[in-house]
Structure 1
Amino acid sequence: MTYAVSRQILPTPETLRPWIAGIGTVTVDDVPTETFIHLPEAATKVVIRGGPNGSRSILVVGPRARASYHRGKRFVSCVEMRLAPGTVRPLLGVSAVELLGHAVPLGDLPGAAAVRLAQELRRLDPEESLAHLTHVLPERLASTADRARTELVRAGVDAMSIRSGQVPAHVGDVARELAVSERQLRNLFAEGVGLSPKHFARISRVRTVLDHAATRSWADLAAATGYYDQAHMTTDFRTLMGVPPRSYFTGRLPQATPCQAIPRR
């Protein structure tokens, strides 16, 4: 038997699109023999995780500033809902930066909204959970979200992301465009994303390198993602991924560690 990780992107119901940036499944079968890589992640996720013998847990996984490498667990299946920028506080009652680097049971978060949601989802299987969220989330979030603040943080995220023909803008330029101070912009990102604007942009760049390394040269990727040069790209990649690009893509990875127990709050 070999280690197998299968991933699938699921369609996001239209009513959830203002709040949920994406939904997917991850399934791990058989005996783990390869390293399981958690890439740097600039989003918070709600994860419904099923394990052996029908066990199930509902987790909140915060943003991940750097990659981590683990020996995976066998027979795990997850449904992951990636929250859109600005959704964390209205849905979970905490700022995104409080979740940075943490994976916690949904019901352990202090807000009544998170406890209520955990109680509701605990009774449902993953398919029923998605249907339930489609029914209840739009009304709940519409009544708790600060629309103006949400629009500001999403405009900032858009400006600090890599898109077709655009590299991340400078923080000062984004702040001026949004008519806020740089300090206010950092606060918006901390609450709505969980990372600073600069670190968000670093993750956007490195994730783009990961996505396109098989089809483009290092120098071309460095220019396309807004690095000063290839050396700058290599340094940033090493910082976030733990190894330089050539090592990563030839399988020379940092030593894998066991998956850690979930910190309880």
Structure 2
Amino acid sequence: MTDALAERALTVPTALRPWITGIESVGVGEELPASFAQVPDTATKLVVRVEAGGRRDALIIGPRTRASYHADADRRAVSCVQVSLGPGTVRPLLGTAAVDLVGRAVPLGELPAGTARRLSRELAELPPGEMLAYLAGLLPDPSAADRSRTRLLWAAVDALSTRSGHAPAQVKEVARELAVSERQLRNLFTEGVGLSPKHYARIDRVRHVLTEAPRTDWAELAAATGYYDQSHMTADFRTLMGVPPRSYFTGRLPDAQPCRA
């Protein structure tokens, strides 16, 4: 993130927490960065962009399994709001399985659910400050969803996530703890998250490395994050990010490509 971009995490209202795990507001200054990285991400996101002339569009961005590096070919956007959808909410809200959105950016209005089309129409006119209240009034009652299945998925996601003091559990251990087969757990993740449990844990772990590396010793970080050793962490990071950690954090990155979304 450069000085030209101001990113601010917003509090998720209680009424939205069954559906949304995070909201970020990103403002862009007069001078945009020459290039930027899109890091791997496990979440499906609703993104509302505002251009300099006031035009808006709404996209659904599916999970990203690899990092990509882009030159900023489109300098019209001046701000955006990114809403991270919770595990198991993509089909109820958008009418499609999360796996069908992996690696894609899709105009919101092109998705099959009536909720998606309505969101696309309304968000094009709604002031950003009213967006959260509007979503709280529009999103379905959580009781209408399969709550037992959703609770199971959220518990699995929590167990396979990386955070300070918590390395991801093994997939077979999570399946056993939740009293499901590994195949059932894999199907649950594919439908509700878009990734296999193993791939989810791998991406989340690398994202944790991205956050903690600037202030943590490499070997200590590898151990705390659940890698076998530092070389294991380096290999995993290189696979997902395209370069080893030291290269990434010293700015030795792959050549930037034009941004298509």
Q: Shorter-chain TM-score: which interval?
A: over 0.9
* Residue identity matched to 2:210: L
Q: CA deviation at 1:90?
A: 1.1
Q: Decide whether the 8 Å contact of 1:90 with 1:141 is kept in 2.
A: no
Q: Give the Cα separation in 1 of the matches to 2:3 and 2:179.
A: 51
RMSD of Structure 2 on Structure 1 (CA) = 1.6
Q: Give the Cα separation in 2 of the matches to 1:223 and 1:194.
A: 28
Q: Deviations over 1:241-264 (max 9, x none)?
A: 110000000000111111114xxx
Q: Decide whether the 8 Å contact of 1:100 with 1:194 is kept in 2.
A: yes
Q: Give the Cα separation in 2 of the matches to 1:212 and 1:164.
A: 9
Q: In the alignment, which residue of structure 2 is the partner of 1:96?
A: 98
Q: Give the Cα separation in 2 of the matches to 1:50 and 1:127.
A: 13
Distance 1:141 1:260, change over 3 A: farther
* Residue identity matched to 1:52: A
Deviation larger for 16-25 or 163-172: 163-172
Q: Deviations over 1:76-122 (max 9, x none)?
A: 21011111111111111111111100111110012222112222322
Q: Give the Cα separation in 1 of the matches to 2:25 and 2:115.
A: 24
1:87 to 76, 84, 89: 89
* Residue identity matched to 2:132: L
Map residues 2-41 of structure 1 onto 2, 5 A cutoff: 4-41=4-41
Q: Decide whether the 8 Å contact of 1:107 with 1:118 is kept in 2.
A: yes
Q: CA deviation at 1:141?
A: 4.1
Q: TM-score, normalised by structure 1?
A: 0.92
Deviation larger for 85-94 or 115-124: 115-124
1:118 aligns with 2:120: yes
Number of aligned positions between the proteins: 258
Q: Decide whether the 8 Å contact of 2:16 with 2:136 is kept in 1.
A: yes
Q: Give the Cα separation in 1 of the matches to 2:50 and 2:122.
A: 16
Q: Decide whether the 8 Å contact of 1:30 with 1:74 is kept in 2.
A: no
Q: CA deviation at 1:3?
A: 6.9
Q: Deviations over 1:157-206 (max 9, x none)?
A: 01101133221111111111111111110111111111111111111111
| Deviating 4+ runs (over 3 angstroms) | 31-34
Q: In the alignment, which residue of structure 2 is the partner of 1:108?
A: 110
Q: TM-score, normalised by structure 2?
A: 0.94
Q: Where does the alignment leave 5 or more consecutive residues of structure 2 unmatched?
A: none
Distance 1:9 1:3, change over 3 A: closer
Map residues 41-80 of structure 1 onto 2, 5 A cutoff: 41-72=41-72, 73-76=74-77, 77-80=79-82
Q: In the alignment, which residue of structure 2 is the partner of 1:211?
A: 211
Q: Give the Cα separation in 1 of the matches to 2:47 and 2:39.
A: 16
Q: Give the Cα separation in 2 of the matches to 1:31 and 1:85.
A: 36
Q: Give the Cα separation in 2 of the matches to 1:30 and 1:123.
A: 24
Map residues 220-231 of structure 1 onto 2, 5 A cutoff: 220-231=220-231
Deviation larger for 162-171 or 7-16: 162-171
Q: CA deviation at 1:212?
A: 1.0
Q: Give the Cα separation in 1 of the matches to 2:215 and 2:3.
A: 26
Q: Deviations over 1:27-80 (max 9, x none)?
A: 233343432111111101111111121111011111111111112232421011
Q: Percent of counterpart pairs with the same letter?
A: 61
* Residue identity matched to 2:166: Q
Q: Decide whether the 8 Å contact of 2:163 with 2:208 is kept in 1.
A: no
* Residue identity matched to 1:97: V
Map residues 129-208 of structure 1 onto 2, 5 A cutoff: 129-137=131-139, 140-142=140-142, 144-208=144-208
Q: Give the Cα separation in 2 of the matches to 1:23 and 1:49.
A: 14
Q: Give the Cα separation in 1 of the matches to 2:40 and 2:111.
A: 23
Q: Give the Cα separation in 2 of the matches to 1:48 and 1:61.
A: 11
Q: Decide whether the 8 Å contact of 1:30 with 1:75 is kept in 2.
A: no
